[in-house]
Amino acid sequence: MLTHMSSSDPLAVSHGTTAPSRWRSDGRADGIFRWLVAGAATLVLVVLGAAAAAMLWGGRLTFETFGWHFLFSSEWDAVNKQFGAVVPIYGTLVSSLIAMLIAVPVSFGIALFLTEVAPYWLRTPIAAAVELLAGIPSIIYGMWGLFMFVPFMAARVLPWVNQNLGGVPGVGPLFQGPPLGIGMLTAGIVLGIMVIPFISSVMRDVFRAVPASLKESAYALGSTSWEVVWNVVLPYTRSAVVGGIFLGLGRALGETMAVTFVLGNSHQLTASLLMPGNSIAATIANEFTEADSDIYLSSLIALGFLLFIVTFVVLAIARIMLHKLAGKEGNT
């Protein structure tokens, strides 16, 4: 038999209100909270869609004039008003690929050193230095690349690359060309240096999240540090590691100022990594103020829309890969 709850029962009375009234109040507050967080999430989608729609609308003249030919043409002639997106797209993808080939192994080594090898007194200063690199503006990287790194590449690195790799069957055409210093290879290296702090910070944080009991158990069984990392740490954190890598790739795809300084800004399609090239972001930054016709301006905006699409595709691939990795781990 149920008994009446006393007025001092906290479930019945709270700040002078009865339980049903408190439940209705909590329900309204919870509903408001849900609407607020849903609105915040929806705002992100609205802003994203609005930005894409604005760029698509701004580039409609280009798509109407050139159609699909715009995506497959390497011509960029502002005088005759003929434009194509192949060279900027190629430069964006190749320079980002070079950057990731450099940044991923270096970032993995940094994260591994900070979590498994370095003494405790050394971990904090190096971690702080890595985070400081992430905060340096991209224009500083670009100025350093133009005034310091480009002369070094032209005098020391590119002549050796041309002489020793230019004649290798298969890959030789990639490393043939005059040692100008500026070009796809230089831009890729600078981009790699820029994204290393982002990828290494993510890797370091996820490596630190591995339970100590798992690593201690592996060490107790006689595993070496490399075996612990390869067989315990990486399988436990591979989803987050892949996410960090694609985060760095997204940064590399959209980088503007640093690439503009060292890429060369040439609309010539060439297989050589030593030759100047161009990227979508660098093309827009260099030529937006020079657009003296509607079709010229529309072509630059259309390039911005294509960069949006390329970044979206890359991040979508990352999500698919993360979903598959989560499925293998049984976390779907």
Domain ranges (residues) in the chain: 76-326
Which among 94, 59, 95, 134 is positioned nearest to 284, based on CA atoms?
A: 59
| pLDDT category of residue 229 using cuts at 50, 70 and 90 | confident
Instruction: Indicate the helix (H) or strand (E) that contains 94.
Output: helix 86-112
Residue 264 β-bridge partners: 277
Tell me the average pLDDT across 227-255: 87
pLDDT given for residue 329 in this prediction: 57
The mean-pLDDT minimum among 46-50, 69-73, 162-166, 325-329 falls in: 325-329
Quick one: how far is CA 226 from the chain centroid? Answer: 27
Instruction: Indicate the helix (H) or strand (E) that contains 82.
Output: strand 82-83
Mean pLDDT across the chain: 86
Q: Please give the CATH superfamily to which domain 76-326 belongs.
A: MetI-like (1.10.3720.10)
- What is the token pair recorded at 199? 């990828």
Write the pLDDT tens digit of every residue in 143-159: 999 999 999 999 999 99
**Residue type at 127 in one-letter notation:** A
> What distances in angstroms separate CA 289 from CA 183, 265, 286, 297, one per listed residue?
23, 15, 7, 9
What pTM was computed for the model? 0.85
Any idea how long the chain is?
A: 332
The set of residues, in sequence order, having a beta carbon less than 8 Å from that of 196 and lying 6+ positions away, is 102, 103, 106, 107, 110, 130, 133, 248
**Residue type at 224 in one-letter notation:** T
Residue 18 β-bridge partners: 13
Write the pLDDT tens digit of every residue in 81-109: 999 999 999 999 999 999 999 999 999 99
Per-residue pLDDT for 115 more than 80?
Answer: yes
Tell me the average pLDDT across 261-289: 90
